[in-house]
Structure 1
């Protein structure tokens, strides 16, 4: 009987001990378990953090932030200056080997292949890699009809774009409009058609009619005719 009571007591003690352990584990160990789960979440967070490493791929993008001055232009985002002489930009990762500037418009002129535009205000070009002249367009020359006299030269006659170093050199220069005008008066009439340049001076064209390709280009008076040919060799009275 005593042995049976002892066994029952031992069994009851063991059950209470296990139950207390389980009951106590429900709270403390549960909290710990929650912490452990949090640890797993933390691990997952670490993986997310590694995603930030993927974000570090933006570092590659930051390598081409754009805004780089390249000759006369500014490269955009994701571009780099490929050829400053040609003002040529290229996308990152692309090579500019073999790129050719080709003809470059420079004001009113077009630079040849292998040249760069130094100053479009006067169409100044220079060979690539040699830099631009220091003076640039400081003395673009004097306009003279359809041409521009070289720096230091004077315009003698804009009608044909003749230039010379001094005014004295302009006087004997045979201008393009010094040729005699083609206009002849015919008939014994007293009609007056105007003054013409005959190659050395100005004379009246009279008669019944005017024959020639320049009849419509005659001058109303002699002074106007002479002034229009003041750069031509003249026979003066």
Structure 2
């Protein structure tokens, strides 16, 4: 094999494996370890050392020229014989990979080399024979693969297309190497601008890559056989059973390590219940039809999206009708479902019936979200009753509420962010099912110090400052120590 065929193959710590029945190559005198006078010849042009058939990574030195193994300077390099008759990883030990000059084709002319335990962070992408794009050749070897034709990873390589300029125009959707994302600006810059997608759905359908979405594959039956390792959206999980069921059963990994390397770009997914839980520049995206539920933080899409194709409208979780999902998302709204919103701010037809003491959920009464109870729910909107008040408020966030809406108590609603619940004097902040009315928070207060204890249990300088903080006054004076 020539040097170009083995360019940038394995490096790392080397272990001795006894592989019976394999042809061995004698370890020569050039295998004394890093720093040996005959360890390898350095390429003066790019400062990368030639190590037998291998060209070491920048910053690495030749460890074992017979096997073409490179490692970090100063590390011990035990002598090791190399196998030279593998056709695939199946012919090597679990901690080795078959170093071939091309993707496996059944010809046993590869060399079993140890998989690197660590890799440099230099970015020199390669396309592995497994169809995955890796940061560099070492990362591919760590996953048990060698570089293959670039075309194998064409669908997973990041598109060269980005928005340029300060315009608010939406230019389309591109694959950034990890996910499909919208780009905006005055114009598109990059070699792939002609291939920009019209929607996220179209992009995801064309990019069959190792995304961070959970794979559809589970083990079925009471057998102990391992059917594969799959990504569940947060971690790599080994599935066992008699058979594998799901659309992704043929896209599993042989080991957890292989799966983890393929998904190392998928960090922990932060959950949220509102955009306030997300970092700046992100918003809380909930699954379609699950308004007010638990979502994930994603990058805020640029505003001004116009739907590429006319189609049926969708109803946003804010009660507003949009032309398509992307249109709703560009304005910060999750989607409740297909079709135009039907009078979202009208009172829901859902009431509790019977003398039972069961809490049935929360409904919108036209002005606020109120709890209903009884033995069962009666009305055409019972299917839209939410289990918690927050979900009800989220579904009706776009509805105007009249001044003086009821709040607090067991059945009262929660006021808007710019209001506070003003309880009657002596009501103990809504205790004993006392309700108040939503009142606009003051914008400014005097600085006189007349301490009051707020309904939040904190002492405020005066009643105005308590109301500005969104709470009513529980009592005059400072709050008692807990």
TM-score (norm 2): 0.15
Larger Rg: 1
Task: Give the structure with the higher percent helix.
Answer: 1
